[in-house]
């Protein structure tokens, strides 16, 4: 039973302080495992966003001027605090997102990889130097921070994505404004406390809560130099177009529709086990979740579907408080209804319902937003469930006759985030990895998420802009290069004017 006193009022984190919202507008934050409202998060007005930006702008000169080693020391301390408070953070992620404890731990561990890379900022910021490029001139390049940058994150990784798109930005000398998903704001506010405790100067890290009005101000405000966005494709598309129109550097990562191709020579038991975790883990709310399994050949498909049906019937859905569960609820009741709608319509369109998760047992005793695992066979291109990203545990089997057909189908889809092939044939793997038009590719790896020191990002409408989420691209995205040509004059130097274009002949 929830009473009003159980509902916490959250705020923003501006200039080193938690401040309550002034707009009078709020969004409810749910515990998806129980369906209870646990908090209400303020939706910032334009003026509140401007106030936050102005505090960040004031903090920038001193932060930028601090030595990179000192900045890295603060990031290192932040990392230590993240590991010390890992249990609190896990509990927060589980409560507001419904993830299992193990999954939340995995998310934090992945996020830490980005922090680790950021601790290396002193090394990564080293420029290039050339001695005597001509006329005793030395040339070198430096990477300067951009200024105030914004990061906008989705609900499905309350900690990993904020860490991945902000840690390097801070380390290389920017002031960062994070707008987390209004569905999971608690974890982001907790990160603010850790930054403060780590010694980050006020104004360098800001959390501004809100929805699209808040984002619109970040997109158009002239002080914001860059936008790093992660979320759904339609919003990513809009963010890229609008941010670019206002002259900002933008990287916007969108959704995925990821395939797992199963060759006839693959071990089907192993492939099925790999599919289960990659497809249904986190209630399929991962941009890299496998949506579609593509067995090659009728015999492979028949055997695989039989194995999967048996294994799926044993999966357990439930709250994170039960250590036995394989995955938890989806994020909201609205999301649950949307996914059920996709399944209903795919059956009308001719798909075969192999496992029906629309009404799991747990829903009889809980108001949590639960869905069991659904598997649909005979899904075909053109069906809504094949074309759209379905952010919940309704997964497809698309039967294909050959590897060529699989590659052609995957390449024709508008999304290109992740993909994987299960095979024992080096030749098939080689053909697949070279011909496939997808950003992150696996061979016998179910979720080919690059580690934190490699670049992460999809192709086609899964990513807009040139940056990436993890990896060395973070340094390039959050800095601008300055190239300096330097010569020191003494009395022996000639000082005649030259009107020819500078050349390097002398």
Least Å distance between CB 229 and ligand NAD?
7
Site residues for ligand NAD, window 160-179 (CB under 6 A)? 161, 179
Total interface residues for ligand NAD by CB under 6 A: 28
Site for ligand NAD (CB under 6 A): which residue of 154, 360, 448, 452? Answer: 154
Cα of 88 vs its chain's centroid, Å: 21
Q: Which of 94, 175, 186, 287 is catalytic?
A: 287
Residue burial 350-374, b: 16+ Cβ < 10 Å; e: rest: ebebbbebeebebbeebebbbbbbb
> Does residue 156 belong to the site contacting ligand NAD (CB under 6 A)?
yes
- Binding span for ligand NAD by CB under 6 A among 97-105, 132-140, 190-198, 207-215: 207-215
| 68 neighbors 158 (Cβ within 8 angstroms) | no
Residue 462 DSSP SS3: coil
Q: Which of 105, 102, 436 is nearest to 260 (CA)?
A: 436
User: Catalytic residue at 287?
Assistant: yes
Counts for the chain of helices (H) and strands (E), in that order: 16, 23
Nearest residue (CB) to ligand NAD, 343 versus 438: 438
Closest separation in Å from C-beta 414 to ligand NAD: 13
Residue entry with tokens 């016998």: 444
Smallest separation, CB 415 to ligand NAD (Å):
9
DSSP string for residues in 320-364: TTSTT-SB---S-HHHHHHHHHHHHHHHHTT-EEEE--SS-GGGG
Identify residues 106-135 at the interface with ligand NAD (CB under 6 A): none
Counting contacts by CB under 6 A, is residue 237 touching ligand NAD? no
- Residue in 287, 294, 301, 397 binding ligand NAD, rule: CB under 6 A: 287
| Closest-approach residue to ligand NAD (CB) | 231
Site track 406-445 with ligand NAD (rule: CB under 6 A), x = hit: -----------x----------------------------
Expressed in angstroms, the distance from the first to the final Cα of the chain is 83
Q: Using the rule CB under 6 A, is 152 a contact of ligand NAD?
A: yes
Helices (H), 175-247: 185-198, 212-220, 233-245
Q: Is 212 in the site for ligand NAD (CB under 6 A)?
A: yes
CB of 479 to ligand NAD, least distance (A): 22
| Residue 155 found at the interface with ligand NAD (CB under 6 A) | yes
In angstroms, give the least distance from the CB of 254 to ligand NAD. 6
Contact flag: residue 157 with ligand NAD (CB under 6 A): yes
Query: If DSSP states are collapsed to H, E and C, what string results for 369-429?
Result: CCCCCEEEECCCCCCHHHHCCCCCCEEEECCECCHHHHHHHHHHCCEECEEEEECCCHHHH
Nearer to ligand NAD, 101 or 181 (CB): 181
CB of 140 to ligand NAD, least distance (A): 35
Cα separation, 154 vs 96, in Å, equals 13
The sheet carrying 129-134 orders its strands as 129-134, 137-145, 479-486
Q: Which residues bind ligand NAD (CB under 6 A)?
A: 152-157, 161, 179, 181-182, 211-212, 215, 230-232, 235, 253-256, 287, 389, 391, 417, 458, 462, 469
Which residues form the catalytic set?
287
């Amino acid at each position: 039973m929830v009473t009003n006193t159980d509902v916490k009022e959250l705020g923003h984190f501006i200039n080193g302080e938690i401040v309550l919202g002034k707009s009078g507008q709020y969004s409810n934050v749910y515990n998806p495992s129980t369906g209870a409202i646990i908090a209400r998060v303020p939706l910032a007005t334009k003026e509140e966003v401007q106030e936050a930006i102005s505090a960040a702008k004031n903090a920038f000169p001193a932060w930028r001027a601090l030595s990179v080693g000192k900045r890295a020391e603060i990031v290192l301390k932040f990392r230590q605090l993240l590991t010390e408070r890992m249990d609190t953070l896990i509990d927060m992620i589980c409560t507001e997102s419904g993830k299992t404890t193990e999954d939340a731990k995995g998310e934090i561990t992945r996020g830490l990889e980005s922090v680790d890379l950021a601790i290396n900022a002193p090394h990564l910021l080293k420029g290039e130097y050339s001695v005597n490029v001509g006329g005793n001139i030395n040339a070198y390049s430096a990477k300067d921070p951009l200024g105030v940058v914004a990061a906008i994150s989705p609900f499905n990784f309350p900690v990993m994505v904020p860490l991945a798109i902000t840690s390097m930005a801070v380390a290389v000398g920017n002031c960062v404004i994070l707008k987390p998903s209004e569905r999971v704001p608690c974890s982001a506010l907790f990160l603010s406390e850790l930054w403060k405790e780590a010694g980050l100067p006020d104004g360098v890290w800001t959390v501004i809560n809100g929805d699209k009005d808040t984002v619109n101000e970040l997109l158009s405000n002239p002080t914001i130099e860059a936008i790093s966005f992660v979320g759904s494709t339609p919003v990513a598309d809009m963010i890229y177009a609008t941010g670019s129109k206002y002259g900002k550097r933008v990287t916007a990562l969108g959704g995925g529709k990821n395939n797992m191709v199963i060759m006839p020579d693959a071990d089907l038991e192993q492939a099925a086990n790999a599919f289960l975790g990659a497809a249904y883990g986190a209630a399929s709310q991962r941009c890299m979740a496998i949506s579609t399994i593509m067995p090659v050949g009728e015999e492979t498909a028949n055997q695989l579907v039989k194995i999967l049906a048996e294994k799926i019937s044993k999966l357990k859905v439930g709250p994170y408080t039960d250590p036995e569960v394989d995955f938890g609820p989806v994020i909201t009741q609205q999301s649950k209804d949307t996914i059920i709608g996709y399944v209903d319509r795919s059956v009308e369109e001719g798909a075969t319902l192999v496992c029906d998760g629309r009404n799991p047992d747990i829903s009889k005793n809980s108001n949590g937003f639960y869905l069991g695992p659904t598997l649909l066979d005979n899904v075909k291109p053109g069906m809504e469930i094949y074309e759209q990203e379905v952010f919940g545990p309704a997964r497809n089997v698309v039967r294909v006759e050959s590897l060529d057909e699989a590659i052609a189908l995957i390449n024709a889809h508008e999304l290109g985030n992740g993909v994987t092939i299960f095979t024992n044939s080096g030749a098939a793997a080689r053909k697949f990895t070279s011909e496939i038009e997808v950003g992150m590719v696996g061979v016998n790896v179910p979720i080919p998420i690059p580690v934190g020191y490699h670049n992460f990002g999809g192709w086609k409408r899964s990513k807009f802009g040139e940056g990436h989420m993890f990896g060395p691209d973070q340094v390039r995205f959050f800095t601008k290069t300055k190239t300096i040509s330097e010569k020191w004059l003494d009395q022996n130097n000639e000082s005649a004017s030259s009107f020819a274009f500078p050349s390097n002949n002398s």
